[in-house]
Chains A and B, each alone.
Chain A
């Protein structure tokens, strides 16, 4: 069982917006602004999409945005495109002894 909870799957049609949630505790998501999001296409290494809750690395489309409320962080993808179909993982710093935790991942299907 992953430390952070994500929905197993979400779907949307091209052009629509979707949101993926990531729920943790006050020891990780809720306590620190160190939430990141990764996109992973099949057979590929993950790619950083959002860091520090809402910041986008250079080169990442502004269709991707992040936010946080309490112990839950969210990734929103607007204007869905076929290439957005992938697995998405959240991650957070944790004040426990292990440093970093990941969510279980969410499979995004673009209908």
Chain B
């Protein structure tokens, strides 16, 4: 069975500083994808970044980077130069990419990030 664990219910960061949101996962699939989504108080789910299990380079998207450590089964999100608008709930998710998989996403419980001015 696939599982995502986010151990930080809430995090604070000072504006303009970097912050790391933790995510560990468990799967028996050889091929899988890891995602991070942002959910502001408005409720929409905003895709941030994707890492494939066979990607050798860590994914980066602007101020977002994914610290992928396959042997440790971790996929931490790093947000650099935090902005007030980064305050939101952040979800780590996994998708199995084997031939029998349907593409459904398995989500963690989320981390609430608050950026202080």
Partners in one complex: no
